[in-house]
Chains A and B, each alone.
Chain A
Amino acid sequence: RKEVEQDPGPFNVPEGATVAFNCTYSNSASQSFFWYRQDCRKEPKLLMSVYSSGNEDGRFTAQLNRASQYISLLIRDSKLSDSATYLCVVNAVFQGAQKLVFGQGTRLTINP
């Protein structure tokens, strides 16, 4: 089983639609959770951290369910510029060292 699993998509949605991504992680000792965005042939960039209470940043809402080991990202009123691959990332301690574990990513295309 992969440490971080995401639906790879692709998701194709019209501009203005609401889209949701899900992610599950296997290590119950994971401490921090993030969503990154990666554009084609570019480096990943931090979109937002994910907190247990849920958090919102503009059109983006992230939620964490520690009991189910489940993370979600909701994008409202999607824009063409939201087209990218969204990476679910978990920070865990492994053999005494912290490291980031990346999901495969979910490819999103917003259509005009």
Chain B
Amino acid sequence: GAVVSQHPSRVICKSGTSVKIECRSLDFQATTMFWYRQFPKQSLMLMATSNEGSKATYEQGVEKDKFLINHASLTLSTLTVTSAHPEDSSFYICSVNDEQFFGPGTRLTVL
């Protein structure tokens, strides 16, 4: 069965709204979670590393004020895309701990 879940699986929103994506570790405690983004026909790009109880570490070029990450418990990390715009439309995927398990992804479409 799945060890990592994401919610929602798909979201369509209007430009300017904020969208929250949840990543849950189902079978074990996840001290570290990773957030990736994948545009069509491109590779997964690491956005940030989320550490339980501390601030996330963002990759170069990723705006921390736009992509808010909260890792308040050992089983849940959330990514909030604030003031989403069409260029934020992408496939957002999380993974946990040793990164061998990925969530099913969230497909975001911003109109």
On A, residues with C-beta under 8 Å from B are: 4, 8, 41-46, 87, 97, 99-105
Q: Give the contacting residue for A105; candidates B43, B102, B103; CB below 8 A.
A: B43
Question: Which residue of chain B has the shortest Cβ distance to A105 in the bound complex?
Answer: B43
When each residue 27-54 of chain B gets 1 if its CB lies under 8 Å from chain A and 0 otherwise, what string results? Answer: 0000000100000011111100100000
Report the bound CA distance from A112 to B100 in whole Å: 31
Contact yes or no, A44 B49, CB < 8 A: no
B102 touches A97 (CB 8 A): no
Task: Please determine whether B43 and A104 come into contact, CB atoms closer than 8 angstroms.
Answer: yes
Give chain B nearest CB distance to A34 CB in angstroms. 8
Distance to closest chain A CB from B35 (angstroms): 12
A-B contact pairs, 27 of them (CB 8 A): A4-B43, A41-B91, A41-B107, A42-B105, A43-B93, A43-B103, A43-B104, A44-B44, A44-B93, A44-B102, A45-B102, A46-B100, A87-B43, A87-B44, A97-B49, A97-B57, A99-B34, A99-B49, A100-B34, A100-B46, A100-B99, A101-B46, A102-B43, A102-B44, A104-B41, A104-B42, A104-B43
Task: Return chain B residues, CB-CB under 8 Å to A4.
Answer: 43
Residues of B within 8 A of A (CB): 34, 41-46, 49, 57, 91, 93, 99-100, 102-105, 107
Q: Within the assembled complex, what's the spacing in Å between the Cα atoms of A22 and B43?
A: 16
A86 to chain B, nearest CB (A): 12
B residues less than 8 Å from A46 (CB atoms): 100
* 15 extra interface residue pairs, beta carbon distance < 8 Å, beyond A41-B105, A42-B105, A44-B102: A4-B43, A41-B91, A43-B102, A43-B104, A43-B105, A87-B44, A97-B49, A99-B49, A100-B34, A101-B46, A102-B43, A102-B44, A103-B43, A104-B42, A105-B43
